Structure 1
Amino acid sequence: MLVDFWAPWCGPCRGFAPIFDEASAAHPEIAFAKVNTETQPDLAQAARIASIPTLMAFKDGILVHSKPGALSSGAMEQLLVQLKHLDAEIAEDD
């Protein structure tokens, strides 16, 4: 699961939103979620969000990636490839 922590007033968040949405459409095998830190402050606090946007990735409920900042389309695709590779490594270990 890939989670985008964002807020409506955040310019970089608004710029990243189309990239996140395009990645979601291109990768239906991955669950994508968005958390508005303005309407979900308790969730943002529990996730220890210090700046937005922040992108988090979870595998089987375990946090495997957390990084603040907007990504370009290319960087987002590289991250998704790395996460899929992580899935393959975990499957090989099973």
Structure 2
Amino acid sequence: MATVELTTANFDEVTGRDGIVLVDFWASWCGPCLKFAPTYERSSEKHQDIVFGKVDTEAQQEIAAKFDIRSIPTIMAVRDGVIVFAQPGALPESALESLIEQVQALDMNDVRQQLAGHQH
């Protein structure tokens, strides 16, 4: 599956549904972002069950501001509408695959309980 361009119009809808969504925050002037893009694309072809989204931080400054993106590329993982990972820096392919495996292995009931515990 090819990557999906995320904008203010579709971001909440795409990241709010069940399943895993990876988000790559990038910009056309960012060298590391452009180097990471083929790795991200290859991974999207391997994992048909995951949505791979991209946010152009220049065109979508509102989304970048909402998530306080200060450094790009930043990779965010969302599962069942819950942000479970967000970290700046381009990942080597092995680290990206490891991240996907970890997100797939999460017990989302456990994650929701932990989140509920932090809100008190």
TM-score, length of structure 1 as denominator length? 0.91
Which residue in the other structure is 1:38 paired with? 58
Which residue in the other structure is 1:54 paired with? 74
User: For this pair of structures, how many residues does the alignment match?
Assistant: 91
* Amino acid aligned to 2:93: S
Residue 90 in structure 1 maps to residue 108 in structure 2:
yes
- Consecutive unaligned residues of structure 2, counting only runs of 5 or more, are 1-20, 111-120
The one-character-per-residue Cα deviations of 1:16-72 (angstroms, maximum 9, x if unpaired) are 000110110100101110000011001110111010000001111111000000000
Runs of 4+ aligned structure 1 residues displaced above 4 Å come to none
TM-score, length of structure 2 as denominator length? 0.72
Percent of aligned positions that are identical: 48
Which structure: larger Rg?
A: 2
